[in-house]
Amino acid sequence: MTKRSELLLVILWMTVAACVVYVATGKPSLGIDDAQIFFTYAQNVASGKGLLYSPGVPPAEGYTSTLWTALCALMFWIHANEIGVLVVSMLLVVITQMLALRLIDTLLSGARAWQARLIYAVLITVSPAYLSWTTITLMDTGIWSTLIVSMVYVLLLPPASRSGWALAGAVFCLAQLARPEATVVGPALLALLWLKLRSQRHSSAPVWWILGAMIATTLALTAFRLAYFGYPLPSTYYAKVSSSTWYNLQIGFGYLARYVLGGNVAFVAALVCVPFGWRLLTRLIRALPRGKALVISDGLDDACQLLAAVGLLLLALPVSVGGDHFSLSRFYQPAWPVLCLLLALGAVRLVASARLAGTRIGAVNAGHVWATPAAVACLAVLLSCTSLKDSWLGIARHGSPLAPEFRAGLNGEKIGEAIDAVFARARVAPPTIGVVAAGGVARTYRGPIIDLMGLNNAFIAHFPGDRMGVKDHAAFEKAAFYQLPVDMVISSPAYSWDDVVLKRIFYDPRFTSAWRFGVVYLKADPAVRYESFYSTKFLKSLDADDRLAYRDSMVFNPASGMWEKAPSAPVVAARPPRTSVRVEHASGHASGSAA
């Protein structure tokens, strides 16, 4: 097969896969709610407003991928918008597969290469989680996965020319701009590369040059953050990660367990990492204390050991920060191609070893070259179908767990439009709103927005607190809220999720005395209105306005300690479908940052 034919086949493969997950997810709008935050920053950059989440609010780094934000900004600058971001996502996932297949072709030859290719392709295809997160979500998962596979490519097949090393250095430097965890992954892979070159008696000088360039990139990014945002790390880190290491590890191991036990193929991949990783560790223990080079293993075994080491690192990293709140294990999806490569190469190596040993398995493989890979592929499909979470069968039966994430983004856009319509029609300055789901609303609302989860608000992100509770939604503190100039809180006493993440502030005496829940509407057209919490200070500013009016929907009863339906109020126009209904995520919570 020619390279062109292979490329076209991979493009067709990934396009069909993306279309299938798109349909399985319910044909959603482009990008989940958190992707809308990337787009908000990108849109502001493209229009010359700078790296801002909302006008009138101090800058906060509510994204964790500078590289992905820059690419999104480029798409918005050329007016390709979300479609352009989707094209970039598809291009990245195609590059990832081409690199993986090229690795297989270089490490193996003939029938063995085709066997490994078949196994790899099936393993990639049976994971709707990987395909969803790297394509239709429009998140930074895809670019991080591509960079991981690119760095692994350099590790397994070190360049032979200066231009090759220059390209490798660019990959490692770009990785530092793609995700915060690259500050660990990059040096770790360089250390493995140094050991590999040392064992092969090759010069390791390029590794040191790449390390220097990588450190310079990280320092430059940190300097930019300090100058622009005032802090060395994104706001998402301060808002999400608890200061308690024990707490992070506790919930992080739970996150790892849900991933490994939720997908049977992932469970097998994690198990396979252990023996290969152990073999590499024993080689290191024997060589390093004596100052000797690593004992050279055969190329395929060496590749499997290095892939296992990278796989174990990528499995361990999310544990250190307590994992993530999204469905389908977002933090582990970038590692999936690496694990698939390990399984594919490991299966071929096992068959080759069996054949050399003269076992029955080897005899079958010798007579029927496709029997073993076909059996492995069928087993992978069977394991995937019986998985608890990462399963096409489960999605066919119950729908994609990511579907609510897309609905939350679309719902946020409608909320922003509805609020903006009220105050734009009245020609009144838009109020400052406080939100829990901070994605879609920022795309359409033109006034100041305060992210109450702190992911796009530096004041809340750095406000003292233990960050324990609902994962990624524990930064809110009542004391911080009362210091912020919020006019509206986009919520309702009926929203149990908001009640939890806002730590029952709706029932706090200070809140009930200074806030009311009801409808602000146009006097000339009462159908144009919005129902929410409004501060009494803001409502007083409407008293002298002859265009807007307010009426209570619910009032707080101190005797019962509950919000109750307000007494009969003057009838206004027929109520349109409520646009402020919040859509909770499948996991029971709403998104709030592009992290």
Give the model confidence (pLDDT) of 285-339 as tens digits: 777 666 565 656 678 889 999 999 999 999 999 999 999 989 899 999 999 999 9
Residue 366 has pLDDT above 50, yes or no: no
Residues 487 and 516 sit within 8 Å (Cβ to Cβ):
no
Q: How confident is the model at residue 593 (pLDDT cuts 50, 70, 90)?
A: very low
Residues 249 and 323 sit within 8 Å (Cβ to Cβ):
no
Backbone angles phi, psi at 520, to 5 degrees: -100, 130
Q: What is the largest CA-CA distance in the chain?
A: 93
The contacts of residue 528 (CB under 8 Å, 6+ apart) are 421, 422, 425, 521, 522
Looking only at the bridges linking them, the beta strands covering 488-489 and 562-565 are: unpaired
Q: How confident is the model at residue 591 (pLDDT cuts 50, 70, 90)?
A: very low
Q: How confident is the model at residue 357 (pLDDT cuts 50, 70, 90)?
A: low
Backbone angles phi, psi at 519, to 5 degrees: -120, 130
Exposed, middle or buried, 371 (CB in 10 Å: 0-12/13-18/19+)? middle
Question: Would you say how long the chain is, in residues?
Answer: 595
- Closest C-alpha to 404, from 325, 467, 476: 325
In angstroms, the CA 7 to CA 72 distance is 25
- Closest C-alpha to 268, from 381, 425, 102, 189: 381
State which amino acid sits at residue 370. Answer: W
What integer pLDDT is reported at residue 573 of this predicted model? Answer: 38
Q: How confident is the model at residue 220 (pLDDT cuts 50, 70, 90)?
A: very high
What integer pLDDT is reported at residue 343 of this predicted model? Answer: 93
Task: Please report, to the nearest 10 degrees, the dihedral formed by the alpha carbons of residues 438, 256, 470, 35 taken in order.
Answer: 0
The contacts of residue 465 (CB under 8 Å, 6+ apart) are 474, 475, 477
Residue 489 host element (H or E):
strand 488-489
Lowest mean pLDDT among 140-154, 280-294, 295-309, 542-556: 280-294
Q: How confident is the model at residue 374 (pLDDT cuts 50, 70, 90)?
A: low
Lowest mean pLDDT among 198-207, 336-345, 534-543, 552-561: 198-207
Bridge partner list, 310: none
Task: Please report, to the nearest 10 degrees, the dihedral formed by the alpha carbons of residues 39, 412, 329, 137 taken in order.
Answer: -40
Q: What is the DSSP letter of 137?
A: T
Mean pLDDT taken over the chain: 87
Task: Please report, to the nearest 10 degrees, the dihedral formed by the alpha carbons of residues 190, 191, 194, 199 taken in order.
Answer: -140
In the numeric block, the tokens 């206004």 are attached to 572
* pTM of the entire predicted model: 0.90
Tell me the torsion sign for CA atoms 170, 171, 175, 176: negative
Give the model confidence (pLDDT) of 429-466 as tens digits: 999 999 999 999 999 999 999 999 999 999 999 999 98
Mean pLDDT of 48-69: 93
Domain range list for the chain: 3-30+65-179+181-232+243-321+330-388, 404-565
Between these two residues, 185 and 545, which has the higher pLDDT value?
Answer: 185
Q: Which tokens is 366 given?
A: 């010798």
Alpha helices in 200-298 (DSSP H): 205-228, 235-240, 245-262, 264-287
What integer pLDDT is reported at residue 367 of this predicted model? Answer: 47
Lowest mean pLDDT among 202-206, 342-346, 384-388, 504-508: 384-388
- The vertex-148 CA angle with 145 and 149, nearest 5°, equals 90
Residue 266 has pLDDT above 90, yes or no: no
Task: Please report, to the nearest 10 degrees, the dihedral formed by the alpha carbons of residues 152, 158, 164, 169 taken in order.
Answer: 50
Tell me the C-alpha to C-alpha distance, in Å, between residue 15 and each of 7, 12, 116, 374.
12, 5, 22, 24
- Calculate helix-pair angle for 336-356, 110-125, nearest 10 degrees: 140
Mean pLDDT of 37-63: 94
Residue 50 has pLDDT above 80, yes or no: yes
